[in-house]
Amino acid sequence: MSIATARLTGTRSRPFGYRPRREPLWSSNQAFFSDAALFILGAAGLFSANIVGALPGCEILLLPMLPVMLLAQGKRAFDRRYLWFYVLTIGWLIGTLIADEYNGIALFNRAKGTARVIFFILDFMALAILINDRPRKIVVFALSIATLYLIGSWQFSEELMLQWKFGLSQGLSVLALLISCYYYKKKRYRVCLFISLLLGGINLRYGFRSQLVIIFVAAVLTLPLFDSARTRASAAADSGNTVRVLVLLGLAGVAVFAANAAINYGARKGIFDDSTNAKFVSQSEGDYGVLVGGRPETLVAIQAIRDSPILGHGSFPFGLKYMQLKQDIQYEHGYSDSDEPEEDDYPVIPTHSHLTMAWVEGGILGGICWICIFVLVLRSLLRLTALRPHLAPLYSYFLINFLWDILYSPFGSVNRMRAAFYILMSYSILRASSGKSVGARNPIVKKIAKGPTTVRLTRVAPLSPRSSLPGGGPL
C-alpha cells in the first residue's frame, strides 16, 4: 500500500515485528511546566500567610502569576460562557460593600470580607486559563487537591479519627476514584461500586457522616441505569428527560436515607469510640436526625437572613444574639443538654455554609449568586449522569461534595480555589452536552503532496458529547 493511499484511506501498514514507540507522558517541555505550575498552584494551599486574615499559599502565588497569564491567554478567562458568573460574583461584591457600610462594620473585617470575594474571582480566572476544559488538567489539579488533603492531615496524626475527618478521607477518596475511573472506562461497573462501598464503609467506621453521604450519592448517580445512547442524545439536544431526573433524585434520596440509617445502626451497635457513639446516639434522638443534628447553624442562619434579607449584616458580623439562638435550638430539639452558649471573644453569626454566609453577610445579592451556582452545579451533575464519561466517578464525587459545601461548609481559604475549580468543571460538562468542545471547533486539515500540486483533504471532527466531554476521551 502506498503512502498516499494509506493517508487517503486512513489505514496504516506496519512492518512485521515493529513495535510502536510509547507516547511520552508530556508532549513537550511546555506541557510539563504547564502541568507542574497547575499542580504547585493547587498544592500551595498547604501554606498560608497572615496578610488580610490567613491568605493561602495558592493565592499568594496567584498574585504575580495572574497578570502574566491574562496577557498571554486572557480570552480563556473571559469566555462568553462565564459572563453570568462574573455578573453574579460582582453583584455579591457590591452587596457586601453596601452591607458593610450600612452596618458600620470595622475596617479590618470589611477588608477580609471584600478580599474573600475578590480572590474567588481571581482564582476562577487563573484556573480558567490553566485548565481550559482539558481533562488532563482536571486530573492534575485533582491530584494537587489529594496531595493537599493527605499532607495536611498529618497534623492530626496522633488521633486517626481526626486525621481521617480532616483530610485523609478526602485525599484517599480522590485517589481511589481515579482508579475507579480506569474500571469505569472498561465498563467494569461492579469494581467501581465495590470501591465506593469500601470507601463508604471506612467513613462509617470513623463516623464521617458527610463523606458517607457524598460517596453513596455519587456512586448511585454514576451507575449505568439508563440506555446510554438515548440519554446522551437527550443531553446533547438540551431536552432533559423528566422521568430520568426524578428517578435519579429519588435514588439520591434513598442513598441519603441509607447513610443516615447506617449511622444510626452503627451508633446502636457501638462501632464508634465512646465520645462519637454518645454524640450520635444523642443526635439520633433529636427531632431532625443525625445528619441535620450536626448542622444547627443552618437554622440560625435562616433566622439571620429573615431578620435582614435585603441588605444583610455585613462582613463577619458580631452575633451574640444568634449564638444564643443556636444553643436554644440545639437544646429545644434534643441536640444539647444545656441552653448556655459557648464563650467566644468575638462571636460571629454562625452560618457554616457558602450560601447562608453569602446571604447573611452580603445580603440578597450574595444569596442569589450562590443559588445560581448551586443550580449550575446541579444541572451539570444531572447531565453527567446522561453523558457518563470515563472520569464520571471522580466528577460525580467532586460535584456532590461541592453541593454539600454550598449548603453545609464554610467558605474561605483554600475552599475558594476549589470552589472555582468545581464551577469550571460544571461549565465544561454543560459545554460538552451542547456538542461543543475546544478540540471540535476547527476542522483537521491535511495536506498530501501529489506531484507539483497539493491536495487538501478536510475532515471535521465529530461533535460527540461523550468524546468532547473532559474525561470522555484520552488524556
Identity of the residue numbered 370: W
Each residue's pLDDT expressed in tens, for the chain with a length of 475 residues: 555 554 444 455 555 555 666 667 777 778 888 899 999 999 999 988 887 677 899 999 999 999 999 999 999 999 999 999 999 999 999 999 999 999 999 999 999 999 999 999 999 999 999 999 999 999 999 999 999 999 999 999 888 888 999 999 999 999 999 999 999 999 999 999 999 999 999 998 888 888 998 999 999 888 887 655 555 555 544 444 677 777 877 878 888 788 777 877 777 777 777 677 766 666 665 556 555 555 778 888 999 999 999 999 999 998 888 888 888 877 776 666 666 777 777 889 999 899 999 999 999 999 999 999 999 999 999 899 888 899 999 999 999 999 999 999 989 889 999 999 999 999 999 988 665 543 333 333 333 334 444 444 444 444 444 444 555 543 4
Instruction: List the domain boundaries for the chain.
Output: 51-449
pTM score > 0.75 for this model? Answer: yes
What local confidence, expressed as pLDDT, does residue 289 receive? 59
Q: What is the DSSP letter of 26?
A: S
Residue 258: exposed, middle, or buried by beta-carbon count in 10 A (0-12, 13-18, 19+)? Answer: middle
pLDDT for the residue 316: 94
Among 367, 463, 346, 455, smallest CA distance to 4 is for: 455
Dist CA 58 CA 3 (whole Å)? 51
For 86-101, give the DSSP string.
HHHHHHHHHHHHHHHH
How far is CA 137 from its chain centroid?
A: 15
Distance CA 77, CA 372 (A): 19
CA dihedral of 236, 240, 241, 244, whole degrees rounded to 10: 100
d(CA 380, CA 432): 10
Distance of CA 207 to the CA centre of its chain: 22
**Residue 473 DSSP label:** S
**Integer Rg of the chain from CA:** 25
pLDDT score, position 239: 40
